[in-house]
Amino acid sequence: MRKARRLWSIVLFVALLMQTLGISVAAQESTDVTISSDVSTLASSTNYGLPANTKDGLIFHAWNWSFDNITNNIPAIAAAGYKSIQTSPIQGTKEGTMDGSKWWLLYQPINFDIGNAQLGSRDQFKRLCEEAEKYGISIIVDVVANHTANAGGGNLEYTPAYNVDPSIRNNPNFWHEFRGVDNWNERWPVTHLGIRLPDLNTSNQELQDKIIGFLNDAVSLGADGFRFDAAKHIELPDDPGGSNFWPRVLGSLNNKQNLYIYGEVLQGGADAYSKYANYMGLTTSYYGDAIRHSVGFNSSKNVNNAKDFNANGVNPSKLVTWVESHDSYANDGNESTYMNDWHIKMGWAIIASRAQTTSLFFNRPAGGGKFASSLGTPGNNLWQDADIVAVNKFHNAMVGQGEHLRTQGNEIMLVERGNKGMTMVNLGGDASINSDTNLANGTYTNKATGGGTFTVSNGKITGNIGGGKIAVLYEAAPNAPEISINQSEGEFYSDSLAVTINYTGASNASYTLNNGSPTSFSSGSTVTLGAGAAYGTTFLLKVTAGQTTKTYTFTKSDPNAALIIHYYKPSSWGTPNIYYYDDSVTPTTIGKAWPGTAMQNEGNGWYSATIAGWSKAKIIFNSNGNQAPGASQPGYQVSGEKWIKDGTIYPNNPDVTIPTISIDKPEGTFNSDSLDVTISYQGANNATYTLNGAAPVSFTSGTKITIGAGDADGSTYTLNVTASNSGTNTTKTYSFTKQLPNTESFTVHFYKPDNWGTPNIYFYDESVSPKKENAAWPGTAMQDEGNGWYSYTISGWDKANVIFNSNGQQTPGASQAGYLVTANSWVKDGVVSNTAPEQNNTLVPVTFNIQNATTNVGQNIYITGNIAELGNWSPQNAVGPASSTNYPTWTLTINLPAGATIEFKAIKKDGSNNVVWESGQNHSFTVNASNPIVEFNFNN
């Protein structure tokens, strides 16, 4: 009963909200009750001014919040200006405690599955992602891939917990040595030994596949990015004992181009910091420490300490900054634990106002004391503080603008963004501001709580700022266009559905249906979907007004379709009721009011109900105050016909013996003229099979049939087998394709390392059963082609995985899959290509013409980029200065390696090494002697 009250409380809340907004609530005359009107579009139509890209926004770290608590707070989080929400780790945990002081349990996973006792289930995570998408918010998942939970302290620190997934715990190839890091200044121990936890062998590809599967499962549910915990401790390809973990795992992610990925690479010791930037964004622990000191925590105040990111020359666009992290707050060292709210606000005003970096706001636990609140509950409310929100909105309004940092003494910093806006941070007493500025002339009103106005005239900004206050100055962009429709997404049960589309804030709009051609329309127009279409047809309605695009999905469903549910009731229950609802749509659709509908007695303890017009639902059974699932738990998710007994959902009656069917050959291709297949069954009295739709043939278990004899290469076969007993039947379908052996060949060329002798080639194919291989390890010696190249021709195979080896050395490394080749291939330095690599070490003089690069007195233009010749993104090693003969066009010629694809930016730098970076994306260019000139505008 408590479950029903909870659901109805949500319904009543939404109804009251709609009345407040002047929206009517109507009940349909049928037995199903649906809250009508535009609730589904109410949230998503609100304009929060969030950036389009995750990287350009701010991250709210909902530390220890449950999925449901995050879901319930998404409107407030969006309104506060956060583009992304970072969850705590979502993997299974070794204990179910909710004690806040045991937060570390979430960082000691036992598997690579979604859901745990502290945060919630896989289904609740999916609902969180779906709700976040409505508000344009990205969900970033904290991932623990370096280690698992341990069995305890002391000598058990490096022993896996007893309840770690057995497929991981019992596989010796999945583990590094069970001991701790003994030298923090060398990469091998940092990446191969433990950090007081059992260390996973992340080079193992079978383990990598588990991790890839987990990550892609999260993506399929709606995750928009990942933070990799302890990324510093997972090896890079060029580390001692390195592996392909990062390129392979990240390269295998679905929708990777749209995911935001960063790693925890704590600076210090053998951190290989800049190398990780080739694969992901990076945390900036040194900068976090500098920010805390700059605002006066455990140090004298000095805003000048907040200028340098201290990030080993890594481009700022790859950095994630914070005032504090969950580690600096919660670890035993108490690095930031005793900061007060003022310190946090001042530090946040500095980092979140800056350009290019992505800033993370850590939400501390609520209440008094370090761990006052339990796991799963929301933290304190500082994230909603008016000054914090003002800075967030400033950040979002300034996307794409460059930055200029100015200081007035040691206690005032001015963060200027292009010529659009400025944040002032005053750590001292009341002060008068009189500073150079690039802002346009005019009067600017402070959007933070400190109030006041500031005047800009002829390159100077003047005004007064209160002691310990923040000033946020900019003109807000106009509201983005808003789009709404009059129908709820999801299933409809009529032949057609009329959808009325409205928009505001745009002069024109268009829509597409199922990705067809755009159709222009005026606000209030109606689009009709589904007329004459088959049941099950899905319609994707995409509406664009100005810069705003929204997508709605509808499915035409059979009104005569029904859910059929069978329930085996507990012996102490009376006749059970069935209560059903569907929360996959907005608003939630609810069947009959609690306690629902009485079920029909089928005998032998079974009861049934038919729910007409529903293709899926969540189900709760109840009788005389009892219910299953329990109070506050989601209902059983069902579709079609299902049997539920003792909490388990079955596709068939579990009390009836189900016939089983098997064959002795794997499905797929066979390479001979014919294939003999033996069909067996158990638990049946009779059976039949059909081949490619022919008449059924009765048979007894163990019968052998032959397929393919004399048929053409490429012929396909569908074998349907049905086995029956007095209670039920089972049908299985098997598919085969006749594929005669390939007589073609291809040649593999390999450039051997200098310290190798003549290389051997070992190749195999695991896509067939049994596995094929050319010869036992180490394979066959290759032929010398000269200039370091060796070759071998593979005949009669259409593909192969190849491993090269010589005198105990091999590539790819041990326990890694061979390079996959399907045609003539060249393999050099781990790169496989279909054409011979160029043997070219020549340098090409490339001339860069940087246009519209206006500078102040003392500034010059330099080029920096991602290769050594361009300084590896270090402003100190940037190439220049360029010539300004044709000012504001600057010219610089640099010798670069032919064929190299480079990324680069221009920077402005003065004699004091103050640097102004270009805004926006990196420029890219492939060095070519026939086209050695690069021209681009300096992005201010």
In whole angstroms, give the CA distance from residue 270 to residue 183.
9
pLDDT in tens, 166-176: 999 999 999 99
Q: What is the pLDDT of residues 779-830, one digit of tens each?
A: 999 998 877 889 999 988 888 899 999 988 999 888 788 898 888 988 887 7
Query: Is 327 or 843 the better-scoring residue by pLDDT?
Result: 327
Do residues 168 and 111 touch, judged by C-beta distance below 8 A? yes
* pLDDT tens per residue, range 515-563: 889 999 999 999 999 899 988 899 999 999 988 889 899 888 887 778 8
Cis peptide leading into residue 365 (ω within 30°)? no
* Res 478: pLDDT: 61
Pairing label, strands 59-61, 358-362: parallel
Q: Are 874 and 907 in contact (CB under 8 A)?
A: no
Sign of the four-CA dihedral 431, 433, 434, 435: positive
Over residues 851-894, the pLDDT tens digits come to: 999 998 889 999 998 887 898 888 889 999 999 888 999 999 99
Residue 3 φ then ψ, to 5° = -60, -45
93: Cβ–Cβ under 8 A, 6 or more apart, which residues?
105, 106, 108, 109, 110, 116, 117, 118, 149
What's the pLDDT tens digit per position in 79-109?
999 999 999 999 999 999 999 999 999 999 9
pLDDT tens readout for residues 761-791: 999 988 877 788 888 889 999 998 877 889 9
276-284 mean pLDDT: 96
Active site residue ranges: 229, 264
DSSP-derived 3-state class of residue 614: coil
For residue 62, what is the enclosing H or E element? none
Which residues is 760 bridged to in the sheet? 781, 805
DSSP letters of 634-696? PPEEEESEEEEETTEEESS-TTSPPPEEEESS-SEEE-SS-EEEEEEEES-SEEEEEETT---
- What confidence tier does 27 reach under pLDDT thresholds 50, 70, 90? very low
Domains of the chain are 59-400 (3.20.20.80), 402-478 (2.60.40.1180), 660-738 (2.60.40.10), 745-833 (2.60.40.10), 843-937 (2.60.40.10)
Contact between 557 and 492 (Cβ < 8 Å)? yes
Task: Determine which helix (DSSP H) or strand (DSSP E) holds 80, and give its type and residue range.
Answer: none
Residue with tokens 């504001």: 888
Give per-residue burial for 468-503: e unless 16+ CB within 10 Å, then b. Answer: bbbbbbbeeeeebbbbbbbbbbbbbbeeebebebbb
> Dihedral of the CA atoms 593, 594, 595, 601 (nearest 10)?
40
Statement: the pTM of the whole predicted model exceeds 0.85: no
- Yes or no: say if 67 and 120 are a contact pair by the CB < 8 Å rule: yes
* Average pLDDT score, the chain: 89
DSSP per-residue letters across 777-841: TT-EEPEEEETTEEEEEEES-S-EEEEEEETTEEESPTTSPPEEESSSEEEETTEEESSPPP---
Q: What are 305-331's pLDDT values in tens digits?
A: 999 999 999 999 999 999 999 999 999
Give residue-wise pLDDT tens across range 367-377. Answer: 888 998 999 99
Angle between helices 285-294 and 341-351 (to 10 degrees): 120
Q: 577-628 pLDDT, tens per residue?
A: 999 998 887 678 888 888 999 999 988 899 999 888 888 899 999 998 899 9
Single-letter code of the amino acid located at 455: T
pLDDT at 812: 87
Rounded to 5°, the CA angle 26-31-33 comes to: 35
Pairing of strands 453-457, 703-707: unpaired
Q: Which residues contact 786 (CB under 8 A, 6 or more apart)?
A: none
Q: 293, 318, 319, 317: which is closest to 305 by C-alpha?
A: 293
The answer to whether the CB of 169 falls within 8 A of the CB of 200 is: no
